[in-house]
Amino acid sequence: MPSSALTLATILITASLSTTAAPIESPFPKKAGKLGVAACAETPLSSGGIPREREYLTGVVKCLDRSWAAYFKRAGLSLGRPIVEYYAEPARTVCGRAWPEHADAFYCTERATLVFPLTGGWIENRADLYPMKVAAHEYGHHVQSALGIRRAYEMEARTRGGDRGNALKRRYELQADCLAGVFLGSVWGSLRRPRSDWAALVETVKASGDDGLDGGARSHGKGANRAAWLERGYRAGSPTACDTWSAAATKVA
């Protein structure tokens, strides 16, 4: 991780969380512009009745690698590709710790590793965009780590703890939702999907919120906010639109 990126993220996030006077400058370099419009051919999730989840995800990750590497290059930064691990089913441990409960997929920060189970409702027997959105969200965490956002967030969360730490976690996760929207918007023209598929994805994301949980357990945001940040990224096409750190508390609840 470039030290300059870490320093920038630390300063910006700390500033945003210590004052409510004004929003902070986005930690994403403005000179990099939007995530470039790119082609991303979708591999069918099944063919002839044979599941092809791994092939599908491999193709999506390659698209994410190309898009984000080009963005970082325009910013004068470098982005290493994440390791990708596939599991036929959840294991007892992964990345040196217990398998996260209720996780569709996840990102191991310490090992820069995307972990995708190839079973479960998030990907099996689906024809919608939800698996691509999940992959793009987890890749968003890889981007956050490369820019130093993850480390800065963790430092602040350790200081605050409790419900305030969970509030920071929601800002972190909602930013990844927004970055997923940025990516999906950049490749939308190549997906050859009707507009109704986007509307269906937004509704699915709304249903994935943690509205029903108490404050101490809410780490990803209400469904309406998750969908709003996804759409914000999709419409803007630029990571600079994904500044959840200076957003009003109601927008990241």
pLDDT at residue number 27: 76
pLDDT at residue number 155: 87
Q: What are the residue ranges in the chain where pLDDT is below 70?
A: 1-26, 213-216
pLDDT at residue number 22: 26
pLDDT tens figures, 61-83? 999 999 999 999 999 999 999 99
Whether residue 143 lies inside any domain: the answer is: yes
Whether residue 186 lies inside any domain: the answer is: yes
Residue 209: C-alpha distances to residues 36, 38, 173, 188, 224 (Å): 29, 29, 11, 24, 7
pLDDT at residue number 175: 97
How many structural domains does the chain have?
Answer: 1
pLDDT at residue number 11: 42
Enclosing H/E stretch for 34: none
Determine contact, residues 250/46, Cβ cutoff 8 Å.
Answer: no
Whether residue 57 lies inside any domain: the answer is: yes
What is the 3 state secondary structure string of 52-99? CHHHHHHHHHHHHHHHHHHHHHHCCCCCCCCEEEEECCCCCEECCEEC
User: How deeply is 248 buried, as exposed, middle or buried, from its count of CB atoms within 10 A (0-12, 13-18, 19+)?
Assistant: exposed
pLDDT tens figures, 187-227? 999 999 999 999 999 999 999 998 876 655 778 999 999 99
Determine contact, residues 2/77, Cβ cutoff 8 Å.
Answer: yes
> What is the distance between the alpha carbons of residues 141 and 145, in angstroms, rounded to a whole number?
6
Structural domain of residue 137, as residue ranges? Answer: 27-252
Whether residue 5 lies inside any domain: the answer is: no
pLDDT at residue number 94: 93
Whether residue 22 lies inside any domain: the answer is: no
Whether residue 85 lies inside any domain: the answer is: yes
pTM of the model: 0.89
Whether residue 90 lies inside any domain: the answer is: yes
Q: Encoding tokens for residue 149?
A: 């956002």
Whether residue 18 lies inside any domain: the answer is: no
